[in-house]
């Protein structure tokens, strides 16, 4: 029987950050249980990408949970009444309309439950506090606070060895992330980062996530495998 210390739950969105995070966890020797969410996002094709990444990335299991937090609205990623801004329309300060209220808190809570069930002590999440859109739940302070909560609110935290919330990309630039993934053999052509892709997976090329992705490949001096609908 594999010791629970060798298991990890990995949050997997289908984007390049989570694909790299899965590769890092696998490289560290973990049996990876990938977890994705159908939460009412506009980018539904990301779930198909998550399935491809989980399969090729060596996850021992991949679950997609229906978690309709998008029904609450409040984000351009889930609410058609809120216009999705182009990258040029993002402001340098403030939290953008693409922020999904409490998303990472909810996702990590579900990952924590799964970790207790499968016997994993490590939970990996691909948040980044350098090249990102300014979301409050992508900061190191949030990760530390959630880890403290996890070890207060669970049986494993109280009676066992506790949990670690792993955010290996937290201090990396997008170029660093891509170079790490290339070194670990990640096939980025299987991923999608776009906020508003076509149904066939073609990236829009003008949203903030497309901008960060394209700039990251350029800075990493790595060919971008993404096919963009529009050129910035």
What CATH code is carried by the domain that includes residue 85? 3.40.50.620
Asked if residue 205 belongs to a domain, the reply is yes
Residue 25 near residue 123 (C-beta atoms within 8 A):
no
Asked if residue 11 belongs to a domain, the reply is yes
Digit-coded pLDDT (tens) for 19-42:
999 999 999 999 999 999 999 998
pTM for this structure? 0.93
Would you state the pLDDT for residue 197?
85
Query: What is the residue range of 177's domain?
Result: 4-220
Asked if residue 227 belongs to a domain, the reply is no
Asked if residue 196 belongs to a domain, the reply is yes
Phi, psi of 131 (to 5 degrees): -95, 85
Residue 200 near residue 48 (C-beta atoms within 8 A):
no
Asked if residue 230 belongs to a domain, the reply is no
Asked if residue 226 belongs to a domain, the reply is no
Residue 157 near residue 150 (C-beta atoms within 8 A):
yes
Give the chain's count of helices (H) and strands (E): 7, 5
Q: How many domains does the chain have?
A: 1
Asked if residue 71 belongs to a domain, the reply is yes
Digit-coded pLDDT (tens) for 79-122:
888 888 776 555 555 788 889 999 999 999 999 999 999 999 99
Asked if residue 228 belongs to a domain, the reply is no
Q: pLDDT band at residue 18, thresholds of 50, 70 and 90?
A: very high
Would you state the pLDDT for residue 2?
47
Give the lowest-confidence range in 1-10, 93-102, 142-151. Answer: 1-10
């Amino acid at each position: 029987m594999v010791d629970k210390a060798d298991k990890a739950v990995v949050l997997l969105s289908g984007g390049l950050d989570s694909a790299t995070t899965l590769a890092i966890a696998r490289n560290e020797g973990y049996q990876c249980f990938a977890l994705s969410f159908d939460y009412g996002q506009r980018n539904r094709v990301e779930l198909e990408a998550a399935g491809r990444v989980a399969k090729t990335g060596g996850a021992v299991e991949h679950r997609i949970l229906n978690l309709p937090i998008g029904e609450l609205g409040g984000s351009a990623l889930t609410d058609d009444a809120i216009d999705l801004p182009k990258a040029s329309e993002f402001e340098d300060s403030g939290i953008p309309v693409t922020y999904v209220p409490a998303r990472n808190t909810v996702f990590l809570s579900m990952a924590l439950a799964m970790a207790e069930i499968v016997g994993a002590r490590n939970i990996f999440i691909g948040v980044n506090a350098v090249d990102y859109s300014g979301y409050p739940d992508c900061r190191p302070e949030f990760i530390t606070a959630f880890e403290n909560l996890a070890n207060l609110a669970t049986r494993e935290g109280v009676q066992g060895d506790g949990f670690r919330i792993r955010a290996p990309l937290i201090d990396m630039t997008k170029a660093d992330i891509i170079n790490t993934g290339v070194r670990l053999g990640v096939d980025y052509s299987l991923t999608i980062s776009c906020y508003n892709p076509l149904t066939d997976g073609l990236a829009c090329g003008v949203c903030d996530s497309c901008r960060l992705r394209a700039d990251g490949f350029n800075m990493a001096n790595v060919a971008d495998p993404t096919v963009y609908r529009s050129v910035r």
